[in-house]
A and B are shown apart, each in its own frame.
Chain A
Amino acid sequence: MTATSTPRFRRAGAPAGSAAGSADGSAADSAALEARRVTLSYEKSVIFDGLDLRIERGRVTTLVGANGSGKSTVLKAFGRLLTPGAGTVELDGHPVRSLSTREVARRLAILPQKPLTPSATTVRDLVSRGRHPHQSLLRPFTPHDSAVVDAALAATGLRGLEGRDAGSLSGGQLQRAWIALILAQEAPTILLDEPTTFLDLSHQLDVLRLVRRINREHGATVVMVLHDLSLAGRYSDRLVVLGGGRVIADGTPWEVLTPAILREAFDLEALVIPDPSCGSPLVVPVDTEHR
């Protein structure tokens, strides 16, 4: 962020330290999000029945699992885009349904999988929409809002592109613009649904480094859905493996990314070795056919 403005990310608990070893201490008992006995279903098919899941504050938690395992479903339920059939979702200790949607928007930002890029809208205007939950008839766009938007554009490296039409951006630039919008929302909890899809590897790394930075520098709680297990292991404090309508495994990347769990969750034969570049678990699929 630039020095001109300090966005008011609410710091709660200690910002997460190193991936595995950060001491929980006082932060451990304050959950940012908690699902209690939640039933989630689309139309008639029930995806989860009685799901319990707790998201600790100030951490990067990544939901992984096979296609159709309900990763996005859980994220939508946390972001009140999907109303549970039974059970409660709590945000900062309040049942989500007891808060107005605007109040939720000040505490939690969610980037869904396929946002619509509006036509004839500059990058700056797009990012400015992130201020919507803080505005009202009596409180229109202020210099503070403008400063927060500047900071969000700077954090995502978009200052030079702010006057461009959002429709003319490349995939990586556009994804950064959406993340800038989420940053401008200044919510202490951020949910990202597959933020790296359709990006090449270097842009995937850009996005995940940015997410890590947001978490470290502002103490933001991040919950995201990722497909790439090695990248998930590298940039997350905690992984939650979903499958078969339940939580298969939940823990640090090294606890979760084991051949046995990968076999159960993904039907995948894989070796897990330390990543030579940073020591996080690297998932190497075993190809039985070409041996």
Chain B
Amino acid sequence: MTATTANQPAPQPGNGPGSRPGPRPRRAEPSRDGHRFFGRQWQGRVVVVTAVCLLLAIAAALFGIVAGSSSLTVPDVVRTLVGGGTRAERLIVLDLRLPRVTAGLLVGAALGLAGALTQTFARNPLATPDIIGVTSGASLGAVSAIVLAGGGYSVAAGLLSLGLPLVATLGALVTAAAVYGLSWRGGVDSYRLILIGIGATATLTGITSYLIAKAQITDAAAAAQWLVGSLSGISWASVWPVLIVLVVVTPIALLQSTNLEVSQLGDDVSTGLGVALQRHRLIVILCAVLLTAAAVSASGPIEFVAFVAPQIARRVARSGRPPLLASALVGAIIVVGGDALARGVLPGEIPVGIITAVVGAPYLIRLLTRRNTKESTL
């Protein structure tokens, strides 16, 4: 034992978990981390980061309503939102932009939360719904609904609100069960999970392409447009399923956060500390699959959000694993912000899925090259 550290002053009794004993004992080495002001890190910094993300998400939503071809000002928008405004303003704000921005917020939040759950569960930032095949499973389900049910957007409108989410969820569930089952060997090895997931993604994408190639030209166009991941033409009907899933799943996921925290120490340690691992894993996977399926059903697969958002949240919060709520909010900011950027700033209407892919892919490469030099749990 190092003798220098043994005789620290005793702590004052009755210190709460967040408070610190009065004068800090002299440190042998300078503290390496810069967040000593908050007691246990997740209680301090994560709360602040989450609050800031919430404000940014609201700002992004306002920007999303204002941005676009018809020029509106923030006061116009606020006036319309509280019940005023001209008829034209009401049409643009309430019927066109509000559902689009709401869908963006919800889809982004669902993807961010799903990514945070799978990355934490597999202890690997590469284990996101896009990479382990869940997104492609949902996409295949949705495309087969669009193509096999026949008819383009007009017929699919009824389908979009009911049938499509169900088929997409089914596709996501089956894929998740297959990938998880194949990679299971007395525990989840994250590398096996990712490799099998990449294989599943390739297979499912192939089948999806086959379906599109075989489909009527109008259906094929609709499916191809949908596969890019876009918020254009979204209506309130596609917003509700995502909202319901988020409202149900978020509290369940949050209740798993202490188990997620402990499970970072490895399967044996977490069992030793009383985590019922099988049940915990099942809950986490189901939550992630439902969130992904709901998001994909509403907007099509918006690439890389589930992958990037949790990692941004984790780095900003400087926590050991992606904080769940902050990841959801960062996802919402990315999708709404990206969509608004595409409509308001960049020329032409670029689907948000292209923007997130252009931003997300370099990040993936950076993470992969960095992991080669420095191995870490997350």
Q: Which of B19-76 contact A (CB under 8 A)?
A: 25, 27-29, 31-33, 36, 40-41
Beta-carbon contact of B27 and A163 below 8 Å: yes
Which listed residue (A122, A142, A156, A158) contacts B33, Cβ 8 A?
A122
A288 interface contact, C-beta 8 A: no
Measured between beta carbons, the chain A residues less than 8 angstroms from B319 are 120
CB atoms of B266 and A112 under 8 A apart: yes
Which residues 60-118 in A have Cβ within 8 Å of B in the complex? 76, 79-81, 100-106, 108-112, 114-118
Interface residue? A27 (CB, 8 A): no
Q: Does A121 belong to the interface (CB within 8 Å)?
A: yes
Known: A81-B268, A116-B269. A160 touches B28 (CB 8 A): yes
Q: Complex formed: what's the CA distance from A16 to B314 in Å?
A: 47
Determine the distance from Cα of A165 to Cα of B123 in the docked complex, in whole angstroms: 18
Judged by a CB distance under 8 angstroms, whether B2 is at the interface is yes
Tell me whether A22 is interfacial, beta carbon within 8 Å.
no
A129 at the interface (CB under 8 A from B): yes
Contacting residues, chain B, for A154 (C-beta < 8 A)? 6, 8, 10
A119 partner, pick from B16, B28, B255, B376, beta carbons under 8 A: B376
A164 touches B258 (CB 8 A): no
Return 10 A-B CB contacts under 8 Å, by A number: A100-B274, A100-B276, A111-B272, A116-B377, A118-B378, A128-B17, A135-B258, A141-B40, A160-B28, A164-B32
Within the complex, what minimum Cβ distance (angstroms) separates B21 from chain A?
A: 9
Known: A121-B320, A128-B40. A116 touches B8 (CB 8 A): no
CA–CA, A132 and B271, complex, Å: 11
CB-based contact A137/B255 at 8 Å: yes
Q: Number of contact residues on A: which range applies?
A: 35 or more
Rounded to whole angstroms, the CA-CA distance of A129 and B40 in the bound complex is 11
Contact between B33 and A161, CB atoms less than 8 A apart: no
Q: Does A21 contact B (CB under 8 A)?
A: no
B11 contacts the other chain (CB 8 A): yes
Interface residue? A280 (CB, 8 A) = no
Question: How many residues of chain B get a CB closer than 8 Å to chain A's CBs?
Answer: 46
User: By the criterion CB–CB under 8 Å, are A118 and B25 in contact?
Assistant: no
Contacts of A37 in B (CB 8 A): none
- Cβ of A233 within 8 Å of any chain B Cβ, yes or no, is no
A143 interface residue per 8 A CB criterion? yes
Minimal beta-carbon separation of B165 from chain A (angstroms): 31
Question: Would you call B265 an interface residue if the criterion is a C-beta within 8 Å of the partner chain's C-beta atoms?
Answer: yes
A201 within 8 A of B: no
**A269 within 8 Å of B (CB atoms):** no
Residues of B within 8 A of A109 (CB): 272
CB pair B32 A168 closer than 8 Å: yes
Once bound together, how far apart are the Cα atoms of A267 and B377, in whole Å? Answer: 40
Query: Given A157-B5, A159-B5, does the pair A132, B274 have CB atoms closer than 8 Å?
Result: yes
| Shortest CB distance B49–A (Å) | 13
Q: Flag whether B192 is at the interface (Cβ < 8 A).
A: no
- Indicate whether A118 sits within 8 Å of B6 (C-beta atoms), given known contacts A4-B13, A79-B272: no
Q: Is the CB of A119 within 8 A of B377?
A: yes
Shortest A45–chain B CB gap in Å is 14
Are the C-beta atoms of A110 and B268 separated by less than 8 Å?
Answer: yes
* Interface-facing stretch out of A145-153, A214-222, A257-265: A145-153
- B-side interface residues toward A, CB under 8 Å? 1-2, 4-6, 8, 10-11, 13-17, 25, 27-29, 31-33, 36, 40-41, 123, 255, 258, 261-262, 264-266, 268-269, 271-276, 318-321, 376-378
Most B-side CB within 10 Å, residue of A110, A132, A154: A132
Evaluate contact between A159 and B17: CB separation under 8 angstroms. Answer: no
CB contacts (< 8 Å) of A206 on chain B: these are 1
Q: A119-B378, A125-B40, A159-B5 are in contact. Are A105 and B33 (CB under 8 A)?
A: no
Task: Determine whether A133 belongs to the interface, using a CB cutoff of 8 Å to chain B.
Answer: yes
Known: A120-B319, A142-B17, A147-B13. A165 touches B265 (CB 8 A): no
Number of A-B contacts (CB under 8 A): 145
**Given that A137-B255, A163-B33, A168-B32 are known contacts, is A129 also in contact with B261, CB under 8 Å in the complex?**
yes
Contact A110 B272 (CB under 8 A): yes
Q: Which residues of B contact A133 (CB under 8 A)?
A: 273-274
In the complex, the answer to whether A118 meets B320 with C-beta atoms within 8 Å is yes
How far apart are A141's CB and chain B's nearest CB, in angstroms?
4
Would you give the shortest CB distance from A238 to chain B, in whole angstroms? 23
What residues of B have a CB within 8 angstroms of the CB of A125 in the complex? 40-41
Contact B273 A122 (CB under 8 A): no
Query: Contact between A112 and B8 (Cβ–Cβ < 8 Å)?
Result: no
Alpha-carbon separation in the docked complex, A142 to B32 (Å): 27
Q: Establish whether residues A119 and B269, one from each chain, have CB atoms under 8 Å apart when the complex forms.
A: no
Report the bound CA distance from A59 to B59 in whole Å.
63
- Residues 1-34 of A at the B interface (beta carbon under 8 Å): 2-5
- Chain B residues with CB under 8 A of A119: 320, 376-378
Name the contact of B11 in the complex, choosing from A112, A126, A147, A185 (C-beta under 8 A): A147
Nearest CB on B from A204, distance (A) = 13
Give A3 to B255 CA distance when docked, in angstroms.
35
Q: Which residues of B contact A167 (CB under 8 A)?
A: 376
Whether A115 contacts B265 by the Cβ 8 Å rule is yes
A116-B266 in contact (CB<8A): yes
From B10, B25, B40, B262, give the contact of A4 (CB < 8 A): B10
Residue ID in chain A nearest B270 by CB atoms: A132
Q: Rank and list the top 4 A-B pairs by shortest CB-CB distance, nearest first.
A: A105-B274, A160-B5, A102-B274, A112-B268
